[in-house]
A and B are shown apart, each in its own frame.
Chain A
Amino acid sequence: MSMHETKSWPAGQGTMLPASMESWNHKHILDLDDFSREEIDLVFEIADGMVEILARDVKKVPTLRGKTIATMFFEPSTRTRASFELAAKYLGADTVSLDAAKSSVAKGESLIDSLRTLQALQVDTIIIRHPCSGAPYLAAKHLETKIINAGDGCHAHPSQGLLDIYTMRKQLGDLSGRKLVIIGDIMHSRVARSNLWGTRNFDIKVILCAPPALIPYGLKQWTENCGLHHVSIEHDLDTAIEGADIVMPLRLQKERQQSGLISSMREYIRLYQVNDARLSRAKPGAIIMHPGPMNEGIEINHDVAYGKRSLIEQQVTNGVAIRMALLYLIAGGKIR
């Protein structure tokens, strides 16, 4: 797939669908565990067109005109929510945003009732973020409305996984034989989990690097049982980062120290912070990614975060393009 080929769709009037569109088979986007390589390539192909739209002065196309997209966030979020809402608006959809943490839940309404209300309001697609793993699956099971998972508990964050891989590909081209190191709180990371599923068809090696208490007990068996043979675990960062092409530190929540999962921030920084010295062990030209928001000075130091190898801002921009592509595929009436 060429990164630079220009596309006339979906902006143009005579919208031309990619030839491989038949491979798309999702009503909802819940995780990347059921995404084929062809489907991921399709998302990327459409995202390339979206990147082009994002570069314009007037970032508005009528593709989803008349569609209503609701964001329902049960967890504080600024970037993911803004990313999805802008993606929807750039495609011409109407958006409604429910700050679920403050509204119905406070009145004791159950998740399923809140969702049914949205469905009754004739919303076409619900984008849901929830602190409980599996919450979007409850929605998909009991509603007719299309659901996009914008992050559920420690389980999945499919749009983040896609934008991460998209960013890697844009920067590195072919990912074959590349080495990705994900560092930090794997235990509680939906980003890490979705990246594991998403990368499995890319002939890439993934090394998960964390203190033992932040690796789920069953992780190794999960990777073995589910064909994630490209994944391995390494507790020592200096070893893990050796020859890496992509270095991805994860946000370390401060609560992890209170619950004793790490002994002190000081020790964590000493053992797991990505800084210039550590990065010198990676491959020359290795890239830095972070799902945000960063704890500068903890999992990553300032120089690395804002250095020339950092793609953290590109991730944010690509995130909008990926979410536009997903909304196009899910909410666009032409496909199904």
Chain B
Amino acid sequence: MKKNALLIKNARIIDPANDIDMIGSILIKDGIIQQTGGSITDSAPQIIDATGLVACPGFIDLHCHLREPGFEEKETVASGAAAASRGGFTTICCMPNTNPPLDNAATIDYVNTLAARESGRVTILTVGCITKNREGREITDMSELAGAGCVGFSDDGSPVSSSRIMVLAMLKAASLGLPIIDHCEDLELSHGGQMNDGWVAARLGLKGIPAAAEESIIARDIVLAEMTGAGLHITHVSTGGAVKLIREAKSKGLKITADVTPHHLTLTDERIASNPVKPEESPAFDTLAKVNPPLRSAADVEALIQGINDGTINAIATDHAPHTDEEKLCEFELAASGISGFETAFGVLMTLVHAGKINLNTLIARMTIGPSRVLINRFGRTGTLAAASPADIALLDVNRQWIVDKNNLLSKGKNTPFDGYTLKGTVVATIHRGEIVYRNSSPGIAQ
């Protein structure tokens, strides 16, 4: 496909992969970055004057749920792709807990077919199941799933309880050179749990999920990864203890990587009891803040931020988990867990930058080259603005304020705990393979 040339000029280019932070231009031709630098004299038929904006590699999301096949009322590949583009994402990895689950090549092929229709705006990669039907009993034909193109293996949401099965899965994954993407949860410890096991749970009379439910399985799987030589990616880390375990494992030179979500970096379990934009509803029992792993304590949030800053945590992943309104408009114990996260991710994370807790360049690194390296560049040279890379770029206004209105989300899932929040920082445009696939033209959401 012949694509037009595009020049982005006067942007603050932040490209952590190449240690670049400068005012300059990016020249794109045929969907490929031709040149990135301060003194590009070439012109192009299409020019974006990005004065005052940041240009960085398009965001890469290692963990999202597109719900298709099986849960099209929550999200479809198409609606999820639109939401991802608006969030500045150019590569996303969807989890296999669909119905039927992605535990065989045929279902992965099916999702790949749907993904191909969206390939004009976002690259969608799939994660395959570790076990058949995500039941934790028999491992899938992992080589077949790898052949169908999956980026790793996960039984996300239904973690593998059996250590023996996990060993078998790791041995196989290691032989295929793909990581186990691990949702770490001891299902016996978390059984019946609704939220973090802390003071808010005690107050609200909701059953707690202890930090140990996550940490004990992380500890187990680090040991098993060392034994099998598998690559282990620990997803949606939520506790300070988990960060510590991962830091220690990495210092031993193990192939361990990790990601954390925007909500775990910015909200605590207190959000379930009270909503800063609706202080009159307290305690709120707010199902929009129900998520698994649960929102934790302020001390955990600080430890996660520390993990982002010191590199213990490689990536920020949304765990975009859309649900219908009905699944949230109910009793807390019956409500679905999950947060629709694509479209708020960057704005939410910018609160940490504006608060001086994370440097902008670090944030961008954890959303671009960080996750790209978890995927070991096997699925395209992403997360960089180096010449000859695919032209996946996000244009950001780090100071523009907007108010989150869940009804304006492109995702079918309106389930965001950030509804009504004023955020400072937004995605102005998303460029995928050289094409402008999203442009923020809705003054309705901006102040």
- Residues of A in contact with B (beta carbons under 8 Å apart): 31, 33, 110-112, 130, 132-135, 137-138, 141-142, 152-156, 188, 190, 193, 216-219, 221-222, 224-226
Contact = CB atoms under 8 A, between A and B. Distances in A.
A190 B202 CA distance: 11
Contact of A137 (B284, B329, B334): B284
Interface of B: 197-208, 210, 281, 283-285, 326, 329-334
Contacts of A155: 204-206
Contacts of B198: 217-218, 221
| Interface secondary structure of A, over-half rule | mixed
Nearest to B332: A134
29 contacts: A110-B330, A112-B329, A112-B330, A130-B331, A132-B332, A132-B333, A133-B332, A134-B206, A135-B331, A138-B329, A138-B331, A155-B205, A155-B206, A190-B205, A193-B205, A216-B197, A216-B202, A217-B197, A217-B201, A218-B197, A218-B198, A218-B199, A218-B201, A218-B202, A218-B208, A219-B199, A222-B199, A222-B200, A225-B199
A137 B204 CA distance: 11
A133 B197 contact: no
A111 B281 contact: no
Nearest to B191: A259
A137 B199 contact: no
B202 A221 contact: yes
A73 to B, nearest CB: 15
B25 to A, nearest CB: 51
B174 to A, nearest CB: 37
A152 B285 CA distance: 12
A152 B205 CA distance: 9
Contacts of A134: 204, 206, 283, 285, 331-332
Contacts of A156: 205
B326 A110 contact: yes
Nearest to A228: B203
A82 B185 CA distance: 44
A142 B333 CA distance: 18
Given A155-B204, A217-B201, 17 more contacts: A110-B330, A132-B334, A134-B283, A137-B284, A138-B331, A141-B284, A153-B205, A154-B205, A154-B207, A155-B205, A156-B205, A216-B202, A217-B202, A218-B198, A218-B200, A221-B199, A222-B200
A33 B334 CA distance: 24
A14 B280 CA distance: 36
Q: Which of B206, B210, B285, B333 has the most CB of A within 10 A?
A: B285
A29 to B, nearest CB: 14
Q: Which of B201, B202, B284 has the most CB of A within 10 A?
A: B202
A137 B210 CA distance: 25
Contact of B333 (A153, A190, A217, A218): A153
A154 B203 contact: no
A218 B203 CA distance: 8
Contacts of B281: 137, 141
In the complex, the 4 A-B pairs of residues with the closest C-beta atoms, listed nearest first: A134-B285, A154-B205, A155-B205, A132-B331
A288 B203 CA distance: 26
A217 B200 CA distance: 10
A112 B331 CA distance: 9
Q: Which of A134, A153, A188 has the most CB of B within 10 A?
A: A134
A211 to B, nearest CB: 16
